[in-house]
Amino acid sequence: MPHGHGDDWLLLILCSPSGAGKTTLKNRLLAARGDLRFSVSHTTRPRRPHEVDGRDYHFIDRARFGEMTARHEFAEWAEVHGNRYGTSLAEIEAARATHRGVVFDIDYQGARQLRASLDGPVSVFVLPPSMAELERRLRSRGDEGEESVLRRLANARVEIEHYAIFDYTIVNDDLDRASEELGAIVDAERARTRRRARLAEQMLLQGSIT
């Protein structure tokens, strides 16, 4: 797989409240951009029936998670809803060997840690059109009780309170348009002068261009 010009390695953080459509946007982006790889997080959360170990998450117990934490094997980790989630440094390095970028699906705590521990990640926050629409989406899933829905709505407000730490904000009121915006962010970030500076300097060292 092409690695581009070597300087356009992209670390893309996606964050949103539960129900805002982040996972769908992520899956669309990965399907359209074969040079991006999803960073599969480690978690102590039990695996759900439709989930595949190694594809959706690396499912491990709390003891194993604690060992990895003690050895500083995570670029970030956090405890959410009583379960731990973490991004391993090995996962990022594996992506660097074969792809031009990696996509992280994490919460605002993880985003803040990644921005502190990694060089130049780009962060995107996905907003629902409104809190009323977010509640409708959560209830339409039909697989969560009232207590769970109310907890997710409360957590959504906490997530949204941190929108200002992100580089970009996408309002997911129309999936196609939101997907286009996310793709445009990837293109714009790869075209930043600092990412192409080495190529330009190499051309200058090669002498006059005819």
How large is the average pLDDT for residues 106-121? 91
Bigger pLDDT: 119 or 8? 119
Is the pLDDT reported for residue 101 higher than 80? yes
pLDDT at 5: 43
Say what percent of the chain tops pLDDT 70.
Answer: 93
Is the pLDDT reported for residue 120 higher than 90? no
How many angstroms separate the CA atoms of 14 and 108, rounded? 9
pTM of the entire structure?
0.86
What mean pLDDT, rounded, does the chain reach? 90
Is the pLDDT reported for residue 28 higher than 90? yes
159-205 pLDDT per residue, tens: 999 999 999 999 999 999 999 999 999 999 999 988 888 888 888 99
Confidence of residue 209 (pLDDT cuts 50, 70, 90): low
Contacts of 113 (CB under 8 A, 6+ apart): 75, 76, 77, 78
> What is the CATH topology of the domain spanning 10-39+101-205?
Rossmann fold (3.40.50)
Domains of the chain, by residue range, sit at 10-39+101-205
How large is the average pLDDT for residues 5-33? 90
